[in-house]
Chains A and B, each alone.
Chain A
Amino acid sequence: DAGVTQSPTHLIKTRGQHVTLRCSPISGHKSVSWYQQVLGQGPQFIFQYYEKEERGRGNFPDRFSARQFPNYSSELNVNALLLGDSALYLCASGAGGRRDTQYFGPGTRLTVL
């Protein structure tokens, strides 16, 4: 079975542009979460979606948005990119409960110039 997949693998953007990152969860999983990991730190929670509804939001500005589609895949959008948005963006999928194991994708490495 395929694990969590993310695209693209790498991305280079310039300040002010917007970016869309994509994630496909493990088959059968209905929950997708997004995390931002800057160099030298642990991942920081951005959003969680379950059954197409936002179920949690971390401390990130409104420039960050996400959505989940009927097939449970998800997009993370970031507008008006800043240099500080350069990071590894990780997607995790789970069955949906707080007690469920979370499985992470390989990540998208975003560089903002």
Chain B
Amino acid sequence: GIQVEQSPPDLILQEGANSTLRCNFSDSVNNLQWFHQNPWGQLINLFYIPSGTKQNGRLSATTVATERYSLLYISSSQTTDSGVYFCAVVANNNDMRFGAGTRLTVKP
């Protein structure tokens, strides 16, 4: 099945810093989403982005489908950005395959 790799596994930032999270996938996909999981376990949708670039406030994402990777950019990070960020893809079957996540800690 499709493999999803996220990097880095852990990231520690000072408040106000910028960061880039990466997601590599091993096959073509029909669906790619970025999620933020809060400390209570809720997966919050950030982007639906199987290709192209999108921006939402301080967050933006780019997926280059032909090269099988996606990037999530966080600018001017805040302590509330802390948590685990997941990339998830859907290939030709119907299951959504998640990466192992990037754990982000933003220090005040």
Contact = CB atoms under 8 A, between A and B. Distances in A.
A92 B98 CA distance: 13
Interface of A: 33, 35, 37, 41-45, 48, 55-56, 58, 88, 90, 92, 98-104, 106-107, 109
B98 A42 contact: yes
B41 A33 contact: no
A25 B31 CA distance: 19
Category for how many chain B residues contact A: 20 to 34
Contact of B33 (A48, A55, A101): A101
A90 B43 contact: yes
Given A104-B43, A106-B40, A98 B94 contact: yes
A92 B96 contact: yes
B41 A98 contact: no
Contact of B48 (A48, A56, A88, A101): A101
Interface string B96-108: 1111110000000
